């Protein structure tokens, strides 16, 4: 499923930041109602990542955040596109 195909009104939310206490790492798409996206890989659960949409490349970009549990700072970069999540830059 291409989360960004069709109308420009799509809204994708990663619960990596909102459900970290429960250990969730799921992704939801808003298009006239919430639908959970099933992806083979996903970022680890975390608090406070930076998330932005790259309209030129049609991908959602997630950067960093704080791991749960433990509070370790993440420095990785993930992108969500038509094929799901992929890590594009690992922590060094």
Confidence (pLDDT) at 21: 45
What are the extents of the domains in the chain? 11-89
Each of the 92 residues of the chain gets a pLDDT tens digit; together they read 566 655 444 555 554 444 434 456 788 887 788 888 888 889 888 888 899 999 899 899 999 988 876 788 888 999 999 889 999 986 65
Specify whether the CB–CB gap between 66 and 44 falls below 8 A. Answer: no
Specify whether the CB–CB gap between 43 and 76 falls below 8 A. Answer: yes
């Amino acid at each position: 499923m291409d989360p960004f195909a069709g109308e420009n009104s799509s809204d994708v939310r990663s619960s990596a930041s909102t459900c970290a206490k429960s250990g969730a790492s799921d992704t939801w798409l808003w298009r006239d109602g919430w639908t959970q996206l099933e992806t083979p890989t996903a970022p680890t659960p975390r608090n406070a990542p930076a998330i932005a949409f790259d309209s030129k490349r049609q991908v959602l970009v997630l950067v960093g955040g704080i791991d749960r549990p433990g509070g370790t700072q993440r420095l990785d970069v993930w992108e969500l596109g038509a094929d799901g999540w992929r890590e594009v830059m690992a922590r060094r």
